[in-house]
């Protein structure tokens, strides 16, 4: 998911440089959302791992 966020960010920046500011801004907005979701999923799995990891 983080890969998709980086792809959307790069495409958005390229579009903004080429003069397509509206579409570029939308792509950057999607990249922000994907980045936040990726961080939230990472933290969720980290907490689940720490709570569920018990040595036998």
Over residues 18-38, the pLDDT tens digits come to 999 899 999 999 999 999 999
Q: Which helix (H) or strand (E) holds 19?
A: none
Quote the percentage of the chain above a pLDDT of 90: 82
Residues 8 and 6: their CA atoms lie apart, in Å, by 5
CB atoms near residue 12 (< 10 Å): 22
Q: pLDDT value at position 52?
A: 86
Hey, what are 53's tokens? 């990891």
Residue ranges per structural domain of the chain: 2-52
Sign of CA dihedral 36, 40, 46, 47: positive
């Amino acid at each position: 998911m983080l890969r998709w966020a980086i792809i959307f960010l790069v495409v958005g920046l390229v579009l903004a440089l080429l003069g397509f500011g509206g579409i570029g801004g939308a792509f950057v907005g999607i990249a922000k959302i994907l980045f936040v979701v990726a961080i939230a999923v990472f933290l969720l799995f980290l907490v689940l791992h720490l709570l569920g990891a018990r040595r036998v």
